[in-house]
Chains A and B, each alone.
Chain A
Amino acid sequence: METEWDVIIIGGGPAGLSAAIYCGRALRKTLLLEKKVFGGQIVNADIIENYPGFAEPIVPADLMEQMVKQAERYGVVLENDEVSGLRQVKESWQIEVYQKMVAAKAVIYAAGSVHRFLGVSGEKELLGRGVSVCATCDAPFFLQRKVAVLGGGDTALSEALHLAKFASEVVIVHRRDRFRAEKILQDRVFKNDKIKIIWDSEVRSFKGDQKLSGIELKNKKTGANETIGLDGAFLAIGTIPNTELLKDFVRLDDNGYVITDISLGTEAKGLFVAGEVIKGNRRQVAISVGMGVQAALSCEEFLASLD
């Protein structure tokens, strides 16, 4: 075993980084592992307007960079690596990363979620060829072009508003007859002349050879099919929790979310969870931050019991 840590945090989004700050301040030897970029999925958003304490909109990447610096300030080691295995051996948690194993007395699992895909024809083939999961990343490719956003939550409406600054027309395709997004976002969408909404409809397939040329829709109420021509389609239909590594240790619901209580502990000794892996999480930075703090405090109570 290469290294012995007090705590290893898996996931470098708002939950993992908040937990890291608290573990560091508890003077625990803490390692945080993040497989993509530090900051988590929120860095894909263009602005955050509802994070308490900031009267003006903030850039998510700026906020997350501050969290990274804050964690480092308290001695947390941050490594950009993917966890490929998790094992509990007696009192120790052993974690497999690229070309090595690391071990800790406790684990805080905050690996978040991944984008949900529709699984329909053409989606996989045209991903990166007009089908996208990040409006802020890819909006520049669709200057004065027609695009669609699929979904009806906060992410979908935020992405539509961002894309409307670049595209000639934005069509929101939603499978219900109302949005579940924040009312303020709905208000902005309804008032934006560039944004049109297609209600009660689902995407049946993505069309195009080499690059996206259109989407085939089915109206759920009338049963009518329609194909609309466009250059870009942005998926914002929710996420799937990243809990594959947990299934041998904790109880998951049918959708793969962890079932836990306010302590954020699990039935596995020394394993704590935080953020979007938890059932009922509403995907807000502020909620994930709070959960990260709670998991770190519960973890500290556990570590103190071993001292």
Chain B
Amino acid sequence: MAEIISANDVNFESLIKNNRMTIVDFWAPTCMPCRLMEPGLEKIAASHQGNVQVLKVNVNESPKTSSRFLVRTLPTLLFIKDGQVKTQIIGAVNPNQIEKTLIEVG
């Protein structure tokens, strides 16, 4: 079963260097909606195994990556493909909304 991969300022670039769709979940330990959203993201990672990878970035530990994407609110989900940000979702969402977004961004 595919799991959510922990990414940081050091390994982020190498992790998005593939042609798969990547969902990046920006979170912090103090962000409770982030914590409560995690089971939904685990479901997405499992059901799209092989096609979509899910990364989580702790903004406290990876300030460069969060600054690079101008992330200033949590939770924020970025949808990245071929190194390009296709779209983002700000605020807590359910797995179906993530599914819908995946369909929209292809």
Contact = CB atoms under 8 A, between A and B. Distances in A.
A70 interface: no
B102 interface: no
Contacts of A236: none
Interface residues of A, number: 34
A60 B32 contact: yes
A96 interface: no
Contact of A136 (B31, B36, B66, B71): B31
Q: What range describes how many residues of B lie at the interface?
A: 20 to 34
B36 A130 contact: no
A137 B33 contact: yes
A46 interface: yes
A98 B33 contact: no
A211 B70 CA distance: 8
B90 A128 contact: yes
B72 A132 contact: yes
A266 interface: no
A136 B96 contact: no
A64 B36 CA distance: 10
A139 B59 CA distance: 11
B70 A36 contact: no
Contact of A39 (B36, B71, B94): B36
Contacts of B14: none
Nearest to A43: B32
B33 A37 contact: yes
A140 B60 contact: yes
Contact of A210 (B70, B71, B90, B95): B70
Contacts of A128: 72-73, 76, 90
Contacts of B30: 46, 136-137, 139-140
Contacts, number: 87
Nearest to A38: B36
A38 B75 CA distance: 15
Contacts of A34: 94
A64 B70 CA distance: 31
Contacts of B73: 127-129, 132, 134, 137-138, 141
A222 B74 CA distance: 37
A137 B40 contact: no
B61 to A, nearest CB: 10
Contacts of A132: 72-73
Interface centre among B75, B92, B99 (most CB of A within 10 A): B92
B33 A140 contact: no
A81 B33 contact: no
A12 to B, nearest CB: 10
A61 B93 CA distance: 16
Interface string B44-70: 000000000000000110000010001
A44 B96 CA distance: 22
23 contacts: A34-B94, A36-B94, A37-B36, A39-B32, A43-B33, A46-B30, A59-B32, A60-B32, A65-B36, A81-B94, A81-B96, A82-B96, A98-B99, A99-B96, A128-B76, A129-B73, A132-B73, A134-B74, A136-B31, A140-B28, A140-B59, A141-B59, A210-B70
Given A34-B94, A140-B59, 14 more contacts: A36-B94, A37-B33, A39-B36, A44-B32, A46-B30, A59-B32, A60-B32, A128-B90, A137-B34, A137-B75, A138-B74, A140-B30, A141-B72, A211-B72
Closest A-B pairs by Cβ, 10 of them: A37-B36, A61-B32, A80-B94, A128-B73, A98-B96, A137-B74, A137-B31, A43-B32, A36-B92, A128-B90
